[in-house]
Structure 1
């Protein structure tokens, strides 16, 4: 199933910040990183404020990594509104 999501500049940044550590962690563990790498390139190449089509797997991966980033920031007492905004767009 495919879904269209509008990515603002801020949401693109927060999504890329969430995906990058996941990519490097998986690479260090010797797991496949091709799908994550493709998603990072796809998001990075999208113009801001345009709708893009994402698969269910891509959305699941974005949710998982953004939620992880949000929880890490909450544990440190940091600001999370941008991550919360992006998570709401993905639901």
Structure 2
């Protein structure tokens, strides 16, 4: 378990990265319960508060944020917000 402080920007980055993963898994017919619960958990948390996440949740967040960051890099877009969130997860 790890506590992470979520700013508004970090919440937005997390939700932007988790949503495509959720819909991709759903389209493939895979179980989306864990990613769906994580999205709801993040969305319901107040900004600028610390929240506790399991190692599995951290791994999922890290993986999806890295995918979003790599997509942005491939398009030549700004990635500092995603980089900041990845650093908080490490």
TM-score normalised by L of structure 1: 0.98
- Pairs within 5 Å for 1:30-69: 30-69=29-68
Distance (Å, rounded) in 1 between the aligned partners of 2:47 and 2:61:
17
Query: Matched residue of 1:5: which SS?
Result: strand
1:72 corresponds to: 71
1:23 corresponds to: 22
Gaps of 5+ in 2: none
User: How far does residue 24 in structure 1 lie from its aligned partner after superposition?
Assistant: 0.1
Distance (Å, rounded) in 2 between the aligned partners of 1:33 and 1:18:
15
Query: Matched residue of 1:30: which SS?
Result: coil
Instruction: List 4+ stretches of structure 1 deviating above 4 A.
Output: none
Distance (Å, rounded) in 1 between the aligned partners of 2:84 and 2:14:
11
RMSD: 0.3
User: How far does residue 74 in structure 1 lie from its aligned partner after superposition?
Assistant: 0.1
TM-score normalised by L of structure 2: 0.99
User: How far does residue 25 in structure 1 lie from its aligned partner after superposition?
Assistant: 0.2
Gaps of 5+ in 1: none
User: How far does residue 58 in structure 1 lie from its aligned partner after superposition?
Assistant: 0.1
